[in-house]
Amino acid sequence: MPPATPKNVLTINFGGIGDEILFLPALKQLRQALPQSKVTLLLEPRSKSVEQVTDLIDATITFDIKKRPLLPKDLWQLLSLIRAGSYDLVISSGSSPQVAALLFLSGIPVRVGYGSNALARLLLTHPVALKREQYAGNMYHDLIAGLYGYLQLPFPPHQSQIPQVTVKEESRAAMQALLKETGTSGDTIVLLHPGTSTMAVQKGIIKTWPTEHWLALIEKLAAVPAADCDKNIRVILAGGPDDKEVIAALEAALDRREGGRPGNFVSFAGKTRGLSDLAALIDLSQVMVCVDSAPMHLAVGLHKKTVALFGPTEPEKLIPQSPDFAVLADRPEAGSSPPRSLLDGLGVRLQPDIVYRSVLDLLKAK
Lowest mean pLDDT among 43-57, 168-182, 187-201, 297-311: 187-201
Residue percentage of the chain with pLDDT more than 90:
81
The CA-atom distances, in angstroms, between 175 and each of 170, 172, 232, 244 are 9, 5, 19, 20
Prior bond to 312 cis, omega within 30? Answer: no
What SS3 state is found at 236?
A: strand
Which class does domain 169-364 fall in? alpha beta
> What is the band of 93 on the pLDDT scale with cuts at 50, 70, 90?
very high
Distance CA 340, CA 243 (A): 27
Encode pLDDT of 22-45 as tens digits.
Answer: 999 999 999 999 999 999 999 999
Residue (of 99, 134, 138, 133) closest to 119 by Cα position:
99
Distance CA 252, CA 261 (A): 10
Mean pLDDT for the chain overall: 92
Distance CA 217, CA 228 (A): 15
What SS3 state is found at 95?
A: coil
Give the fold, CATH level 3, of 8-151. Answer: Rossmann fold (3.40.50)
Distance CA 246, CA 258 (A): 21
Q: pTM higher than 0.85, yes or no?
A: yes
Which pLDDT belongs to residue 80? 97
The reply to whether 169-364 shares the fold of 8-151 is: yes
User: Nearest 5°: phi and psi at 326?
Assistant: -90, 110
Distance CA 160, CA 245 (A): 36
For the chain, give every domain's residue range: 8-151, 169-364
